[in-house]
Amino acid sequence: MAEEEGESLIHVAIEAEELFGIGPLSFTNSMVGALLTSVLLGLAAWYITRRSSLVPGRLQSAFELPVELMTGIISGSSSRWRGYASLILGFFLMILVANWIGLLPGVGTIGIAHIEDGHEVIVPIVRPASADLNFTLGLAIVAFVMFVYWGIKANGAGGYLKELVGEPRYMAPLMFPINLISEFSRLISLSMRLFGNVFAGEVLLATMIALAPILIPAVFLGLEVLFGFVQALVFALLAMTYIATAIAEHQTAGHDDDQGEADAAHADHPTAAEAAPV
Amino acid sequence: MAREPKPPPPGRPPNWALGMDLGIRLGVSVAIGLGGGLLLDNWLGTIPLFTLIGMVLGIGAAMVTIWNVARNAMRR
């Protein structure tokens, strides 16, 4: 009996579970999580933009804190940071809220009961969106497309292809597939890392709640708050780095390595006129 | 006395994030090469030709990834 209860508590499906279908389309519980995240962020944005003041109150400060933190980091990434700052901020806030929604009471535990293989299984109504590979892969595809877009924008389609083909040209048959695999590894890496970490957190919490329902899960809930933040930060910062690297590579495309080293040395040891205080 | 303004935060992820990215991308590069080779082999019935080629390309991509990440990190 106890084992049966344990089994039903530890049940965490790796794929998002269907709540209802509309024709060939299925509406899953992770879609509910994603919608909830979007609605929460939309409401927060609406509230803050209507009630914002020059001297922020506590609530406004709480909302502005992550935005200022990320803007500060992004502004140091490249000279064109304004072009992609909103995208990176969007990634960060979306993933952060999606991760933390999974820690709210009722998420993952309140659901619709149905019989599967003779056992009663509860399908949660809400599942954190980032615990679904479709969501994380979608975000990674957006990041990948933007990274390629900035690469092409900075140097044109021909220049981007030249980067993929590499130097010297006679090595192109070998280097092109290698560079292509390296580019695609970013897409898979971004999506799998986020999904793996969040899903592992969900499984860990479910297991801990099943094994020791009192006090112990609180420790892991605290850790998940931290991991949720870290994963959102890592995704956003890596997406930012990919874009900034694409722009930086193309900005220095006309320079050879010696010139690049000379530039770096110049940055480390500026001339007296540049170093003099204004 | 006025406090010294803080220097702007560097616009790059911390080293642990780069390491985490690199660690996953190494494995993923080999997996993509190997998986692609297997798919081609199954499709064309040429086992193990493309599997081996894919594996070599995947390992090569992993090395190129290390090179690119290290080069970009040292540039900054």
Confidence bin at A84 (pLDDT 50/70/90): very high
Q: What is the ipTM of this complex?
A: 0.83
pLDDT 10s digits, A185-219: 999 999 999 999 999 999 998 889 888 888 988 99
| φ and ψ at residue A111, rounded to 5 degrees | -160, -170
pLDDT 10s digits, A12-35: 788 888 888 888 888 999 999 999
CB contact under 8 A, A184 and B64: no
pLDDT for res B3: 55
CB contact under 8 A, A185 and B57: no
Chain B's closest residue to A74, CA to CA, is B11
- Smallest Cβ distance to B75: which of A81, A240, A264? A264
Q: Is B40 a domain residue?
A: yes
pLDDT for res A251: 59
pTM of the predicted model as reported, rounded to 2 decimal places: 0.82
CB contact under 8 A, B11 and A186: no
Q: Say how many domains are in chain B.
A: 1
Q: Is B68 a domain residue?
A: yes
DSSP string, chain A: -HHHHHHHHH---SSPPEEEEETTEEEEHHHHHHHHHHHHHHHHHHHHHHH--SS--HHHHHHHHHHHHHHHHHHTT-TTHHHHHHHHHHHHHHHHHHHHHTTSTTTTTSEEEEEETTEEEEEES---GGGSHHHHHHHHHHHHHHHHHHHHHHHHHHHHHHHHH-SSGGGHHHHHHHHHHHHHHHHHHHHHHHHHHHHHHHHHHHHHHHH--SSHHHHHHHHHHHHHHHHHHHHHHHHHHHHHHHHHHHHTTTS-HHHHHHHHHHHHS--HHHHS--
pLDDT 10s digits, A90-125: 999 999 999 999 999 888 888 888 887 788 888 889
Contact A131, A202 (CB under 8 A): yes
Q: Which of A63, A121, A120, A126 is nearest to A96 (CA)?
A: A63
**CA distance between the termini of chain B:** 33
Q: Is B61 a domain residue?
A: yes
| Mean of the per-residue pLDDT values of chain A | 84
Q: Is B60 a domain residue?
A: yes
CB contact under 8 A, B61 and A72: no
**β-strand partners of A124:** A111
Confidence bin at A80 (pLDDT 50/70/90): confident
Q: Is B21 a domain residue?
A: yes
pLDDT for res A246: 85
Q: What are the chain B neighbours of A189 within 8 Å (beta carbons)? A: 21, 24-25, 28
Q: What are the chain A neighbours of B12 within 8 Å (beta carbons)? A: 76-77, 237, 241, 244
Q: What are the chain B neighbours of A237 within 8 Å (beta carbons)? A: 12-14, 17
- Which domain range does residue B63 map to? 16-75
Q: Which of A88-102, A166-180, A261-275, B6-20 has the highest mean pLDDT?
A: A88-102
pLDDT 10s digits, B16-65: 888 888 999 999 999 999 999 999 999 999 989 999 999 999 999 999 99
Q: Cα(A4)–Cα(B36) distance, rounded to whole angstroms?
A: 42
Extents of the domains making up chain A: 2-254
Burial class (CB in 10 A: 0-12, 13-18, 19+), B57: buried
